[in-house]
Chains A and B, each alone.
Chain A
Amino acid sequence: MQSRLRLRRRSFATTLGILLGVVTGIGAASWSVAGAQQASTEPQDVFDVTHLPPLLTTADESIDLAYDVHCAAAEDESGDAGCDAHGTVFVRPIGSASFAALPLVSRVGGGVRQLAVVVPDSFRGTRGIEYYAELAASPIGRRVTLPAGGAAAPHVSRPLLDSVSVDLARHIFGSTGRDGSRVAFASWGDGAGQAGLEHGRNLGPIGASAFDVDRGGSVFLLDQVNRRVLRWDDGSKLASAVPVSVNGTLADMSVADDGSIYVLETTAAPGRRPLVRRFDDGGRELVAVEAAERTPSQIRIENAGPVVLGRPSHHWMPMVVNGVPASQEQQLEHGRPGRRFGGGMEVVAARRGNEVRVAVIASRAVTRSWRVTSATPLAEVQLAEPWGQRLVVVARVYDDTADEFVVLVLGRNGLVDRFALDSADWAEASALGRFKLVGPSLYRLGSSPSGVFVDRYDLEVR
């Protein structure tokens, strides 16, 4: 009798629990749906500005500052009518204290509406100019400062007065001649020592999006799909795994001298910017800092800590200021167009048409520079870093059916060494993270249908 009563009580408890759970569950889900539906579904005003800063100019080029302005009122769903935008550029010669205001004038360039101004030569001097722009669309009440750091971190345009010319002529594809040594390999998969592949029917293969190499020769591969970092110590064929709590999408990564692993994600929660996450060498997350701009694309380590290349400013911004994580405002106010290396040296690289321009900056002036021209189209500059007194540049050459990377070692008088590498980019990775330079060794992240690998190429001095 007692056992029957106990059974009945248990059944009643279970039924009541299920009933309450169903009611609460549906209520909670409906509440979350209602919350989502409260957001505006109508078209919003559009106001966005892009600008390609002329980082390095030649003496015969004018400094033409053009801002593509995308502006549309909410009721103009086609966006073709545009809206009344206006703006001012504030310019000063490098070294000058005050900015002069130059009004921007409307024009159409490259098929889009622009606000633009040609900077008078009187501003240029021998060191170049600093500038920032304030733009507004009065009809929709929107304003933007570009770069967002304004006067504290302006754009910089420097003249190349005495650059060394290097002519690559026409590139012959398929003539790669430098043998590398494979220092890391992982087949695609989710098992031990493998790297995960994100692959959908409407998505190309994406996997192992970033890598780095420390001074001891250990290779670190970000296996973001499996949320871990694979590590090969120098000479080891077997990788160990460090779990990291990343969000699993394309990301960039750099490893600091103290073993900290910095991951820059490229996707973010609604209304937020991508995060830079710092992990210790065991994978414990130490801190996460939100990047200041919408489209950060690279993370690297400088003496003072990690720096992130932001867009639309195209500035390198510190993620640590005075030893503590930087606020977004601090990131913007400390942005600069070049990457800093030892001895106060800064390197600025830019591709303009079929030409790559590279300058070494010291004391705010160009001390050495190169103009590398090619008869074959040049795409992105993957790497531009000093190697002793030389500079190593890796850029991609392409036509409509082929592409390769050209590795250039530039010296005071021109080209010291040059070789080509196949692009080996079967799987998509972080856009600008395929090469790392550690001392005289250049490392390349590559992939094929069988797996992902890192090859080392020892640079030579002829």
Chain B
Amino acid sequence: MMTPPRLAAGFALAFVLAFAGTATAYHTRFVADNCNYAVPTSTSYITRDGSAAVALRARHEGYQWAGGCWNDNDRDDAPSDPHEDPYTGGEGGDCSGFTFKVWREALDTGDAGFRQWGLLRFVHGPYTASAFRAGAGAPNVTAPKWGLVKMDAFASDGHIGLIYAVNPDGSDQIIEAKGEAYGTNIWTRTYRGSSSYSGVRRIGWSS
């Protein structure tokens, strides 16, 4: 007769290891399984509305440090990726990759033109939050915070978020890729008044 405790213990151990191993493999294969490297579409007409729509499609998707590829199914398909690891291949952008894609910028920092990147196009772009804060690159300029409007940004040395709406109390609704535990979404923030943050604007909007 077999010994049930050993059978159960073996089953439990193997189940956990197999499930975790398979699930982890899945979580780290989002980019490999879903993303592409298609050439972006150049466009001469770009609106803040259009960028708001691009940003809203990233809403509820995940966050991936150094990432830049997401779908539009309103869930993080690679949840709980290890923090501080840019190579896990998870879904979502990080804050600066999200901003680059929403502002539809070019990989060439000297090019201020517009590029429409597909949701599933994996691209982070050449800018960190700190570089955005400094107004690095031809498309980006620093701007006084008091004058910033929808789809302008507040950037610190470690983070950047885009203005989605202003609240009556003077805070802002910010759309941002916040972190692995947060994903990409809209939250009330007080970046406008915080001296850790500077104002940044993408130039060349069509309207």
Inside 8 A of B17's CB, which chain A residues have their CB?
21-22, 25
Quick check: A30 and B22 within 8 Å, CB to CB?
Answer: yes
Quick check: B49 and A79 within 8 Å, CB to CB?
Answer: yes
Q: How far is the CA of A350 from the CA of B65 in the complex (A)?
A: 36
Q: Does B84 contact A (CB under 8 A)?
A: yes
Q: Does A294 contact B (CB under 8 A)?
A: yes
Q: How far is the CA of A315 from the CA of B178 in the complex (A)?
A: 25
Chain B residue nearest in CB terms to A74: B72
Quick check: B187 and A295 within 8 Å, CB to CB?
Answer: yes
Quick check: A381 and B2 within 8 Å, CB to CB?
Answer: no
Q: How far is the CA of A397 from the CA of B195 in the complex (A)?
A: 10
At the interface with chain B, which of A45-53, A118-126, A174-182, A236-244?
A45-53
Inside 8 A of B134's CB, which chain A residues have their CB?
none
Q: Does A414 contact B (CB under 8 A)?
A: no
Q: Does A108 contact B (CB under 8 A)?
A: yes
Q: Does B7 contact A (CB under 8 A)?
A: yes
Shortest A18–chain B CB gap in Å is 4
Quick check: A202 and B159 within 8 Å, CB to CB?
Answer: yes
Question: Total A-B residue pairs with C-beta atoms closer than 8 Å?
Answer: 299
Quick check: B95 and A79 within 8 Å, CB to CB?
Answer: no
Q: Does A436 contact B (CB under 8 A)?
A: no
Q: Does A152 contact B (CB under 8 A)?
A: no
Q: How far is the CA of A437 from the CA of B169 in the complex (A)?
A: 18
Quick check: B72 and A312 within 8 Å, CB to CB?
Answer: no
Quick check: B95 and A202 within 8 Å, CB to CB?
Answer: yes
State which residues 269-317 of A face B: CB under 8 Å. 270-271, 294-295, 297, 311-312, 314
Inside 8 A of A76's CB, which chain B residues have their CB?
53
Quick check: B195 and A401 within 8 Å, CB to CB?
Answer: yes
Chain B residue nearest in CB terms to A348: B168
Shortest B168–chain A CB gap in Å is 5
Q: Does A417 contact B (CB under 8 A)?
A: no
**B interface, size bucket:** 35 or more
Q: How far is the CA of A20 from the CA of B1 in the complex (A)?
A: 18
Quick check: A380 and B57 within 8 Å, CB to CB?
Answer: no
Quick check: B11 and A20 within 8 Å, CB to CB?
Answer: yes
Quick check: B52 and A70 within 8 Å, CB to CB?
Answer: yes
State which residues 45-91 of B face A: CB under 8 Å. 45-54, 56-57, 60, 65-66, 71-77, 83-84
Quick check: A297 and B119 within 8 Å, CB to CB?
Answer: no
At the interface with chain B, which of A6-14, A97-105, A363-371, A449-457?
A6-14
Shortest B177–chain A CB gap in Å is 9
Q: Which of B77, B167, B207 contacts A36 (CB 8 A)?
A: B77
Q: How far is the CA of A401 from the CA of B142 in the complex (A)?
A: 13
Residue from B47, B53, B60, B144 whose CB has the most chain A CB atoms within 10 Å: B53
0 or 1 for each of A343-376: is its CB under 8 Å from B? (1 = yes) = 0000001110010100000000000000000000
Quick check: B34 and A41 within 8 Å, CB to CB?
Answer: yes
Q: Which of B26, B53, B168 contacts A350 (CB 8 A)?
A: B168
Quick check: B169 and A349 within 8 Å, CB to CB?
Answer: yes
Shortest B86–chain A CB gap in Å is 9
Quick check: A351 and B16 within 8 Å, CB to CB?
Answer: no
Q: Does A431 contact B (CB under 8 A)?
A: yes
Q: Does A212 contact B (CB under 8 A)?
A: no
Q: Does A411 contact B (CB under 8 A)?
A: no
Quick check: B205 and A111 within 8 Å, CB to CB?
Answer: yes
Quick check: A110 and B192 within 8 Å, CB to CB?
Answer: no
Quick check: A111 and B193 within 8 Å, CB to CB?
Answer: no
Q: Which of B26, B94, B165, B171 contacts A68 (CB 8 A)?
A: B165
Q: Which of A50, A110, A350, A396 contacts B149 (CB 8 A)?
A: A110
Inside 8 A of B32's CB, which chain A residues have their CB?
none
Quick check: B190 and A432 within 8 Å, CB to CB?
Answer: yes
Inside 8 A of A351's CB, which chain B residues have their CB?
168-170
Q: Does A402 contact B (CB under 8 A)?
A: yes
Q: How far is the CA of A46 from the CA of B21 in the complex (A)?
A: 36
Quick check: A16 and B2 within 8 Å, CB to CB?
Answer: yes
Quick check: A29 and B18 within 8 Å, CB to CB?
Answer: yes
Chain B residue nearest in CB terms to A356: B170
Quick check: B74 and A271 within 8 Å, CB to CB?
Answer: yes
Quick check: A19 and B50 within 8 Å, CB to CB?
Answer: no
Shortest A121–chain B CB gap in Å is 22
Quick check: B170 and A270 within 8 Å, CB to CB?
Answer: no
Q: Does A403 contact B (CB under 8 A)?
A: yes
Quick check: A377 and B169 within 8 Å, CB to CB?
Answer: no
Quick check: B83 and A200 within 8 Å, CB to CB?
Answer: yes
Q: How far is the CA of A201 from the CA of B185 in the complex (A)?
A: 19
Quick check: A29 and B23 within 8 Å, CB to CB?
Answer: yes
Inside 8 A of A15's CB, which chain B residues have their CB?
10
Quick check: A78 and B196 within 8 Å, CB to CB?
Answer: no
Quick check: B11 and A200 within 8 Å, CB to CB?
Answer: no
Q: Does A80 contact B (CB under 8 A)?
A: yes
State which residues 169-207 of B face A: CB under 8 Å. 169-171, 173, 178-183, 185-190, 192-196, 198-199, 205-207
Quick check: A10 and B6 within 8 Å, CB to CB?
Answer: yes
* Given A28-B19, A29-B23, 14 further pairs, Cβ under 8 A: A9-B3, A17-B7, A17-B10, A29-B26, A55-B168, A77-B54, A79-B54, A112-B49, A201-B158, A202-B96, A204-B159, A249-B181, A295-B188, A354-B146
Nearest 5 pairs of A and B residues by beta carbon? A17-B10, A79-B53, A21-B14, A379-B193, A25-B18
Q: What are 12 sample pairs from A and B whose C-beta atoms fall under 8 A apart?
A: A21-B12, A24-B18, A25-B19, A33-B23, A41-B120, A44-B72, A200-B83, A201-B65, A271-B74, A379-B170, A396-B190, A423-B193
Interface residues of B (CB under 8 A from A): 1-4, 6-23, 26, 34, 41, 43, 45-54, 56-57, 60, 65-66, 71-77, 83-84, 94-96, 104, 116, 118-120, 129, 144-146, 149-151, 156, 158-159, 164-171, 173, 178-183, 185-190, 192-196, 198-199, 205-207
